[in-house]
């Protein structure tokens, strides 16, 4: 299971929201590039970046910061937030992004996902409260379930589903194991779990899950790292040790 350390951008700074609430923000770093490089130095093989301003408004406020992260990073960068047109996706790829995450637009314009995925690396972002997907920076309900929407992209050529349980995001109380496992069982698309990881035990739990012969492709971790619950190096070591134990 691959680790994706998270860098959430708002106003050019690294922040974390609590349960997706833009009014409950904590600023963790003023230099996102330095933060990204610290993750790379610790051994991560991917970075996960979210433009929270663009997710809310659609405006690419943090694109210069994203470009700077990509220019400095020797590892691939996955970026989501405000990718609502093909032009927006292409602008991120031109900035050096390796994979874009399309969330709101995946629901409003599913064909966009197929168009971009035909030529580029795409993940579909499914952010949900209690299994109901929310859009526009987690502010609008859709009445659609994660499972139903995932099935719509089964043949779209996407590389992954990035699935976040909003009610757990930023809480450190543990991921939505039941919901994530149900989705993993029902879809053939690789699943990246997000939201709620607060301990190394949570990582080991996700890494141990196997259903229908499949495991989670990756896990996104943010607040636990920033709050020093564990380091990127410790997380990577725990995942390597788990994998070694599972294959021995």
Give the catalytic positions in this structure. Answer: 8, 127
| CA gap 85, 116 in Å, rounded | 9
How many other β-carbons are positioned within 10 Å of the β-carbon of residue 87? 9
Buried b (16+ CB within 10 A) or exposed e, 188-212: ebbbbbbbbbbebebbeebbebeee
Taking each helix axis from N to C end, the angle separating 110-117 and 86-94, rounded to the nearest 10 degrees, works out to 40
Radius of gyration of the chain measured on its C-alpha atoms: 16
For tokens 């380091």, what's the residue? 231
| CA gap 171, 4 in Å, rounded | 18
Q: Coil, helix or strand for 217? A: coil
For tokens 């589903």, what's the residue? 161
Q: Tokens in use for 10?
A: 């708002």
């Amino acid at each position: 299971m691959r680790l994706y350390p998270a860098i959430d951008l708002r106003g050019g700074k690294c922040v974390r929201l609590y349960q997706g609430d833009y009014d409950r923000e904590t600023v963790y770093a003023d230099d996102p590039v330095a933060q990204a490089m610290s993750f790379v130095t610790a051994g991560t093989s991917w970075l996960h970046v979210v433009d929270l301003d663009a997710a809310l408004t659609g405006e690419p406020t943090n694109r210069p910061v994203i470009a700077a992260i990509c220019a400095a990073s020797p590892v691939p960068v996955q970026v989501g937030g405000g990718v609502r047109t093909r032009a927006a996706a292409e602008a991120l790829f031109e900035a050096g992004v390796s994979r874009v995450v399309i969330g709101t637009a995946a629901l409003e314009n599913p064909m966009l996902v197929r168009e971009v995925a035909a030529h580029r690396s795409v993940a579909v972002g499914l952010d949900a409260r209690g299994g109901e997907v929310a859009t526009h920076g987690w502010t609008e309900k859709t009445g659609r379930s994660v499972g139903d929407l995932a099935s719509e992209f089964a043949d779209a050529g996407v590389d992954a589903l990035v699935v976040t349980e909003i009610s757990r995001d930023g809480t450190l109380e543990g991921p939505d194991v039941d919901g994530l496992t149900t989705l993993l069982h029902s879809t053939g698309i690789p699943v990246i779990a997000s939201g709620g990881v607060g301990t190394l035990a949570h990582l080991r739990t996700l890494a141990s899950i196997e259903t229908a012969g499949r495991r989670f492709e990756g896990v996104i971790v943010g607040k636990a790292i920033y709050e020093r619950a564990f380091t990127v190096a410790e997380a990577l070591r725990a995942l390597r040790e788990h994998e070694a134990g599972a294959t021995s």
